[in-house]
Amino acid sequence: MSGGRLAGKVCLITGAGSGMGAEATVRFAREGALVAACDMNLEAARRVAQAAEAAGGKAIAVAMNVSREADVAEGVRAAVKAYGKIDVLYNNAGIFPSDDRSVTDTEEKVWDNVLSVNVKGVYLVCKHGIPELLAVGGGSIINVASFVALVGCSVPQDAYTASKGAVIALTKSLAVQYGPRGIRSNAICPGPIETPLLTAWLFKEPAEKAKRLNRIPMGRFGKPEDIVNMALYLASDESRWTNGAALVVDGGITSNYF
């Protein structure tokens, strides 16, 4: 679509094959963005890109494992080759394995895998994507963190929590480094969102589901669009003076004492 809040902006979205990434791909395309839908599952990325095209937008599918530098570098090149530039880096890809628990009972390989995807992936996309943003005079970096980076949890997922805390810290560092050069960097901290990442295990455990749901003042888990609405603002020129923020979209869970 030629009009819309993101008209003409080229947006690279990681983890685009499902959940919030899929929602963002279609929504951004509807708002006029030219989207590079990146996912390690290329077929899933293709389905999402086709959905974006069917909605009247523009999108290409890109194979990318964000924990592998060669994949990320090639994915950035593919986006630039297709569209001529990149304006927005949307670091959405992340993992949340069920065997990530406390530091005392999480296997080293689980820890390493979570940090590799959730933190190293952001580093690599920024490493290869920031030069493209600089080439067009600036842009927007959107990093998906989590509410668990802001509060402790009696049902820990310590690798995930540590990774998302690192994402917030990195976001603030990028905001200071590159703000003077026209790049704004912000993090979104979602509460529990109904995506395959969460529902694959949590919704199979009624007690665990109820335990988390009872903490949310709004009385429901978030929907992918709840987060994408914030991302749309951050990708658009409406957020031109928003930089270095960790924006909490969690239904009030981090405000709930009892």
Please give the positions annotated as active site. Answer: 160
Encoded amino acid at 221, one letter = F
| Under 8 Å between Cβ of 38 and 18 | no
- The DSSP-derived string for 119-181 is IIHHHHHHHHHHHHHHHTT-EEEEEE--GGGTS--SS--HHHHHHHHHHHHHHHHHHHHHGGG
Strand partners, 117: none
Residue 54 CB contacts under 8 Å (≥ 6 apart), including other chains:
none
Please tell me whether residue 81 adopts helix, strand or coil conformation: helix
Query: Using the 8-state DSSP alphabet, how is residue 236 labeled?
Result: S
- The 10 Å Cβ neighbour count of residue 204 is 10
